[in-house]
Structure 1
Amino acid sequence: MAEAHQAVAFQFTVTPDGIDLKLSHQALTQIYLSGLRSWKKRFIRLKNSVITGVYPASPSSWLFVVIAILATMYTRSDPSMGLIAKIQEHLPVSAQCQTVVSAVVFSTLLWLSLILTMRLCLKQLLSYHGWMFEQHGKLSSTTKAWMALVRIFSGRQPLLYSYQGSLPNLPVPKVKDTIHRFLDSVRPLTDAHQFERMSTLAREFESGMGKRLQWYLKLKSLWAANYVSDWWEEYIYLRGRGPIMVNSNYYGMDFLYVTPTPIQAARAGNTIHACLLYRRKLNREELKPVSSFIPLCAAQCERMFNTSRIPGEETGTHKHTHKHTVQHWQDSEFVAVFHRGRYFRLWVYQAGRLLSPRELEHQVQRILDDPAAPAPGEERLGALTAGDRVPWAEARKTYFSSGPNKRSLDCIEKAAFFVTLDDEEQGMMGDDSGASLDRYAKSLLHGKCYDRWFDKSFSFVVYKNGKNGLNAEHSWADAPTVAHLWEYVLATDSFQLGYNTEGHCKGEVDPSLPRPQKLTWEFSPELQQQVGRSLAVAQALADDIDFHVFSFRDFGKGRIKKCRISPDAFIQLTLQLAYYRERGMFCLTYEASMTRLFREGRTETVRSCSNESCAFVCALEEGEEREECRRLLRAASERHQNLYRLAMTGGGIDRHLFCLYVVSKYLGLDSPFLKEVLSEPWRLSTSQTAVQQGELFDMVNHPEFISCGGGFGPVADDGYGVSYSLVGENMINFHISCKHSCPSTDAHEFGAQVRKALVDLLDLMYTEPTRTSTRTSTRTSRNYQHNPPAVKKDQ
């Protein structure tokens, strides 16, 4: 009960002479300092709200306007054209003060009007996306003038959320345009009869139900900040009933070739401290707004910390007893830690002061050395978050609504984030480095199915040999937001905080630190049975996942750019070629792009399998002339870039169709077209993990300090999930996943096809052919004759 004694600030004893009250000055001091920290945070939030609210102006500009107006009045001129006199008539102040007060009131109104005008102008400027569709290095005079105006209206030294009020709303595409782009995307995947049937359904939808559904979407776009994001979060993520482990959550890896320290507690200490430094910068809005030539929406950062996904029980189509939510708390002064079946609360502040890395290492070591055994049923409790969502929601309502279970669950859900001290060793180890990377990826994605808390916004995993990584929940934000945090943590851990010669964290330890608190639980036999059922579901899913992670080092984006081809388009065409060689067919391909150029934007789909990409792949495989293949490659690359730009600027297909489908369900209407479109499987789901803070890493002098990126599970049971990252100029990392239960997929075989396709595409652009295609086969020829691509020019 040592924790209980340390948690109170006074003790009292009842005696015959009265109550003997003994105050603990140390505890009262800690309460005072903790409260002081809380008030400082409130003041910082208030100050930042004011600065952000008046951006692109500054609060000090108000004083400048007031002084300017008073100065002009002193020269006996009236800049208000009589408005100041009108204001004087309605002021309940003495005559001596009326002139000054009315001038201040007018100046304030003028200042606010100028701010509103500047924000509207900036919003209009940020709505221009013509720069994205211009050739690289060849900017039009319109774009150059636009760039100058953006600089003028953007102000100086913006805070993280300064641009939020000036970002444009995501536009609703025309139904006609979406239908046209959709039919163009499915043309290479269907034969003539199938395409005619789909075209008929599409035309009927466009001329009939589509107009009515579109009206509701336009109404929503006028009212809501983003017509997609809230429905996307609810229906794609929160309403799902299957496991979020593997199916939704994703992971990020540590440095590929370097482990800064082999001491588990030390690596955990630096990682936790670096993460909390990032949270401090986030709370103070000291992080620079992320930009892609123009600022991106930062709304996803708001729920990064102190956040947990809460399961709900569905009782009908649109009704819930407990709604699925993402719960965010304003602040948390502790993290939740899991080690060998036990859960702990680790306080990260002492008397309002953030613990040093060395103190955090000391506290983590206490957890590692704690001999206490887990309570019966506690060890595998986390499996509830890994299994199906409805049983977890029912168990949460039945067994975690009161008593010690509720208090302990609250501790996990309200923690800043979750930390797993894994008792295994992972990373690139041993003679077979490839197999060790595959095991590392699977460990980060699902672990033992009970040693991660998959509902937390993100969880850090620190292994016994000092390697680390993270697992992130997907509903609250997309991977680039978490990747930005992860880049900062890795760089701060190694290049700023560092370790001493023995591998321990730097700094001193306060001997008065209270020990981490072990959470207590009460497990009934029924609860243990439910945990067992959830674990069985999760384990079956985890065992079915096949992973292959590899680094391709023959060349990177440096040589690809010399071909004057987009590196991303090059990789996407590589994946199309690899899939075609393995399966002898094309498939519906998903590539994630972002819509954060708009307020509260998240993602859009780039349908990478196009008429042009199919024409190129088939020409290459059938041994067409080299110059013709090159021409088709460039055409396919340009087509892909155009599709990506359309997706980023609000001209995508899938989010619009998804929202039309949601409206149809609310109206009780049934659309055969929408139903068929949204049921199509994405057999090739891809995503690029881009490095956002390259300045944090020195890839020239320290190329070993590079992360292998991250990955995710397959979207379709018979498909692949492919994540890739172009690191530096000479490396491309791939994370490929599929399922063992599908006989037609194999992550390692597909990885081999990707390697070969990369070399073949670069060989096509650089050298003369030395051999004919090795993949011209009867199967390929027959498939192409049955399903010829319709090569069309861009319209």
Structure 2
Amino acid sequence: MAEAHQAVAFQFTVTPDGIDLQLSHQALTEIYLSGVRSWKKRVIRLKNSVITGVYPASPSSWLFVVIAILATMYTRSDPSMGLIAKIQEHLPVSESMSTQCQAVVSAVLFSTMLWLLLIFTMRLCLKQLLSYHGWMFEQHGKMSTTTKVWVALVRIFSGRKPLLYSYQGSLPNLPVPAIKDTVKRYLESVRPLMDDAGYERMTNLAAEFESSLGNRLQWYLKLKALWAANYVSDWWEEYVYLRGRSPLMVNSNYYGMDFLYVTPTPIQAARAGNSIHAFFLYRRKLNKEELKPSRIPGTVIPLCAAQCERIFNTTRTPGEETDTVQHWQDSDYIVVYHSGRYFRLKVYQAGRLLSPREIEFQIQRILDDTSSPCKGEAKLGALTAGDRIPWAKARTKYFSSGVNKRSLDCIEKAAFFVTLDDDEQGMMADDSPDSLDRYAKSLFHGKCYDRWFDKSFSVVYYKNGKKGVNAEHSWADAPVLAHLWEFTLATDSFQLGYNAEGHCKGEVDSSLPRPQKLNWEIPPECEEQISQSLAVAQALADDVDFHVFSFRDFGKGQVKKCRVSPDAFIQMALQLAYYRDRRTFCLTYEACMTRLFREGRTETVRSFTSESCAFVKALEGGEAADVCRRLFRAATEKHQQLYRLAMTGGGIDRHLFCLYVVSKYLGVESPFLKEVLSEPWRLSTSQTPFQQVELFDLVNHPEYISCGGGFGPVADDGYGVSYCILGENMINFHISCKHSCPHTDAHKFGAQIRKALHDLIQLLGPNQKEPSKPQACPPEAKKDK
């Protein structure tokens, strides 16, 4: 019970002489410093709110406007055209206020109103400027005069030194596409998958929908778009994520890997010490809004930062009908899982963040702790890995009061979750291909009870010093967490570093209070539910087939020499590989961000098109190389056009999804929407972006490179493919499918992808004649530069 005594600020006993009060000065000092730290954060938040609120102007500009207006009073000119006099007439009359003083107050009030009007005008102008997306559709290297003027105006209206959230009020709202455009693009996307009879039937359904129910549903969407910041995001979070009743593990959560070739230290506690400290350095920058606003690389165009608000101190709590995402303003601790036990580890002491060496010391204490888990504690985390309804019922019944509620609250309110794993993972010298597959599966689901899948993210530290992350998906998309992950990898290795023995640098305060072990009282009925959830999760985990490989024969450098977008090149390779694997085509999902708009998340790029179908059939049919190259160019250009449309609000899938939600609210059935929303994505793909290139030196230290991350298959008979384009000569792939499907095999599909990549680069080899037509610069090509 030593931990409980450390939490007591004072003790008292009743004696014949009265009450003997014994104060703990250490505890009171900690309380005082914690309060000071909390108030400092409030002041910082208030200051940042003011700065962000008046952006793109600055608070000091108010003083400039006031002085300028007051100066005109002495030149006997009236820039207000009589408004200052009108304000003076309506000021409350005070005997203590002279006429001159009233004039000054009136001038200050007018100056303030003029300043606010200028801010509103500048923000409105910036919003209109950011609504222009013509630059994205221009040919690479040929910037129009309109775009040049637009770039100059964006720079002028963007102000100086914006904070992380400065652009939020100036970002445009996501537009609602026209019904006819969405229907037309949908029919184009499914045409190569249907025979003539099926396509005619779908065309009739679409025409009926467009001419009748569609217009009614569209009216409601336009009304929502006028009222809400984003007409998609809240429904997307609610119905796609939070209302899902199946397990988060495998079905929703995703993972990220450590450096591929380097382990900065083999000491588990030391690696945890450095990177946990780096996580809190990032959180400090986030709270102070010191992180630079995200932009499309190489441009002045800002991206929405709304998702950053919920990175830390966030959890997804289960409900019987729908889950909820809960976020707390701050927490000064993390929760650590090791050998079946949960520990509360404070990372702040006397108002300061613990040093990496001190965190390592505390982590080592947990590793050395030989205490046994409470009854039912060891596999408690399986509740978060199983179906949501049993977990919601168990949470209400067994964790709503007493010691269980206090311990659960501790986990849910923690900054993030940490697992100290007893396994060794990473690329092993003796068995590198299979070792990466095991590494992926470990990060993806572990033992099904040693991760807390509800937390915004859980960090896993392995016995050999490797680490990784498992993230819940509803609160944000992968690029937001990837930004944090890149920062921690770089800070851990290049800024904090390790001493010669592999330990964190610095000294240790051995008087630090020990990490507090959480206590539980798990009844037998709850243990039975834990076992049932574990059985569901284990069956799901055992069914997942993973294959991770690093393709190093060539990379984006050689692809760009062929004047092709690296992303489009890979997407065509995936189409070719899938056709060779299954001898058929399928709907293909490629995730694309819509963060050019306020509260934007993702849109779907339908990578399978009539053009890609024609190219694959020509190549497999033995057509002449010139014909194949021409068809390949047409397919990649169509893909890039779809990508740009999706990024700029012209995608179709989120629009169709929202129309379907409205139809459900109205209680009307649409055969067209029902069929569209039921179509399976047998090939689900996503590119993991490498955002902070400046943090890494891939030329001099190419070994310090992450392997990216992955996710599970969307369809039971399909593949999930994540790829990461790193440097000029590497592409990492993460492929998932299910063993239970006899038609899918991750390793065979990986082999088909390798072959397809080689066949495409051979087709576009430098000795082949390429068309002289200049290509438009795709968004991902711009960010690859």
Identify the TM-score tier after normalising by the shorter chain.
over 0.9
Quick one: distance in 2 between partners of 1:250 and 1:280? 25
| Other-structure match for 1:783 | none
Does residue 124 (structure 1) correspond to residue 128 (structure 2)? The answer is yes
**Residue of 282, 286, 291 corresponding to 1:282:** 286
**Residue of 274, 289, 295 corresponding to 1:270:** 274
Does residue 113 (structure 1) correspond to residue 117 (structure 2)? The answer is yes
CA deviations over 1:583-625 (Å, ceiling 9, x no partner): 1111000000000000000000000000111111111111111
Quick one: distance in 2 between partners of 1:576 and 1:364? 47
Quick one: distance in 1 between partners of 2:101 and 2:76? 17
| Other-structure match for 1:549 | 548
SS in 1 for 2:110: helix
| Other-structure match for 1:424 | 423
How far apart are residue 96 of structure 1 and its match?
Answer: 3.6
| Other-structure match for 2:783 | none
1:246-395 counterparts in 2 under 5 A?
Answer: 246-292=250-296, 293=299, 294-314=301-321, 323-395=322-394
Quick one: distance in 1 between partners of 2:698 and 2:240? 38
Quick one: distance in 2 between partners of 1:440 and 1:3? 35
Quick one: distance in 2 between partners of 1:747 and 1:353? 48
Kept in 1, the 8 Å contact 2:252–2:472? The answer is yes
Worse-matched range after superposition: 7-16 or 403-412: 7-16
Quick one: distance in 2 between partners of 1:9 and 1:757? 67
How far apart are residue 754 of structure 1 and its match?
Answer: 0.2
Worse-matched range after superposition: 623-632 or 484-493: 623-632
SS in 2 for 1:219: helix
| Other-structure match for 2:661 | 662
1:645-724 counterparts in 2 under 5 A?
Answer: 645-724=644-723
Kept in 2, the 8 Å contact 1:238–1:324? The answer is yes
Quick one: distance in 2 between partners of 1:194 and 1:768? 43
Name the aligned partner's letter for residue 267 of structure 2. Answer: I
1:34-183 counterparts in 2 under 5 A?
Answer: 34-92=34-92, 93=94, 94=97, 95-183=99-187
Quick one: distance in 2 between partners of 1:482 and 1:251? 10
Quick one: distance in 1 between partners of 2:524 and 2:510? 41
Name the aligned partner's letter for residue 235 of structure 1. Answer: Y
| Other-structure match for 1:725 | 724
Quick one: distance in 2 between partners of 1:87 and 1:460? 60
Structure 2 unmatched runs, 5+: 769-785
| Other-structure match for 1:230 | 234
1:7-22 counterparts in 2 under 5 A?
Answer: 7-22=7-22
Name the aligned partner's letter for residue 432 of structure 2. Answer: S
CA deviations over 1:121-171 (Å, ceiling 9, x no partner): 000000000011111111111111100100010001000000000000000
CA deviations over 1:11-35 (Å, ceiling 9, x no partner): 2221111111122222222111111
Identity across matched positions, percent? 81
Kept in 2, the 8 Å contact 1:664–1:670? The answer is yes
Quick one: distance in 1 between partners of 2:429 and 2:713? 28
Worse-matched range after superposition: 28-37 or 223-232: 28-37
CA deviations over 1:62-102 (Å, ceiling 9, x no partner): 00001111111111111111000011112224124101111
Quick one: distance in 1 between partners of 2:603 and 2:29? 51
CA deviations over 1:147-206 (Å, ceiling 9, x no partner): 010001000100000000000000000110000000000011111111111111110100
| Other-structure match for 1:622 | 621
Quick one: distance in 1 between partners of 2:507 and 2:228? 51
Quick one: distance in 2 between partners of 1:632 and 1:591? 21
Quick one: distance in 1 between partners of 2:179 and 2:457? 38
| Other-structure match for 2:763 | 764
SS in 2 for 1:547: strand
| Other-structure match for 2:209 | 205
Quick one: distance in 2 between partners of 1:616 and 1:736? 24
Quick one: distance in 2 between partners of 1:25 and 1:432? 56
Does residue 538 (structure 1) correspond to residue 537 (structure 2)? The answer is yes
Kept in 1, the 8 Å contact 2:562–2:766? The answer is no
Kept in 2, the 8 Å contact 1:87–1:102? The answer is yes
Kept in 2, the 8 Å contact 1:73–1:79? The answer is no
Quick one: distance in 2 between partners of 1:562 and 1:73? 65
| TM-score (normalised: structure 1) | 0.95
How far apart are residue 767 of structure 1 and its match?
Answer: 6.0
Quick one: distance in 1 between partners of 2:245 and 2:33? 44
Name the aligned partner's letter for residue 46 of structure 2. Answer: L
Quick one: distance in 1 between partners of 2:356 and 2:91? 58
Quick one: distance in 2 between partners of 1:728 and 1:534? 42
| Other-structure match for 1:602 | 601
| Other-structure match for 1:787 | none
How far apart are residue 535 of structure 1 and its match?
Answer: 0.3
Quick one: distance in 2 between partners of 1:244 and 1:27? 40
How far apart are residue 8 of structure 1 and its match?
Answer: 2.2
Quick one: distance in 2 between partners of 1:505 and 1:204? 67
Quick one: distance in 2 between partners of 1:183 and 1:367? 58
Kept in 2, the 8 Å contact 1:251–1:469? The answer is yes
Quick one: distance in 2 between partners of 1:104 and 1:339? 62
Superposed CA RMSD in Å reads: 0.8
CA deviations over 1:702-742 (Å, ceiling 9, x no partner): 00000000000000000000000100000000000000000
Does residue 240 (structure 1) correspond to residue 244 (structure 2)? The answer is yes
Quick one: distance in 2 between partners of 1:27 and 1:116? 49
Kept in 2, the 8 Å contact 1:251–1:445? The answer is yes
CA deviations over 1:617-654 (Å, ceiling 9, x no partner): 11111111111111111111110000000000010010
Name the aligned partner's letter for residue 273 of structure 1. Answer: H
SS in 2 for 1:291: coil
Quick one: distance in 2 between partners of 1:138 and 1:189? 37
How far apart are residue 41 of structure 1 and its match?
Answer: 0.3
Quick one: distance in 1 between partners of 2:4 and 2:463? 31
Name the aligned partner's letter for residue 485 of structure 2. Answer: W
How far apart are residue 266 of structure 1 and its match?
Answer: 0.5
| Other-structure match for 2:753 | 754
Between the two proteins, the alignment pairs up a number of residues equal to 761
| Other-structure match for 1:793 | none
| TM-score (normalised: structure 2) | 0.96
Name the aligned partner's letter for residue 162 of structure 1. Answer: S
After the TM superposition, which segments of 4 or more aligned residues of structure 1 sit over 3 Å from their partners? none
Name the aligned partner's letter for residue 306 of structure 1. Answer: N
Name the aligned partner's letter for residue 317 of structure 2. Answer: I
| Other-structure match for 1:740 | 739
Quick one: distance in 2 between partners of 1:609 and 1:173? 21
Name the aligned partner's letter for residue 218 of structure 2. Answer: Q
Quick one: distance in 1 between partners of 2:643 and 2:366? 48
How far apart are residue 768 of structure 1 and its match?
Answer: 6.7
How far apart are residue 511 of structure 1 and its match?
Answer: 2.0
SS in 1 for 2:764: helix
Quick one: distance in 1 between partners of 2:167 and 2:256? 29
How far apart are residue 507 of structure 1 and its match?
Answer: 1.3
Quick one: distance in 2 between partners of 1:7 and 1:379? 25
Quick one: distance in 1 between partners of 2:525 and 2:271? 38
Quick one: distance in 2 between partners of 1:746 and 1:463? 28
Quick one: distance in 2 between partners of 1:9 and 1:326? 33
| Other-structure match for 2:774 | none
CA deviations over 1:343-376 (Å, ceiling 9, x no partner): 0100010011100000000000000000101112
Quick one: distance in 1 between partners of 2:743 and 2:2? 58
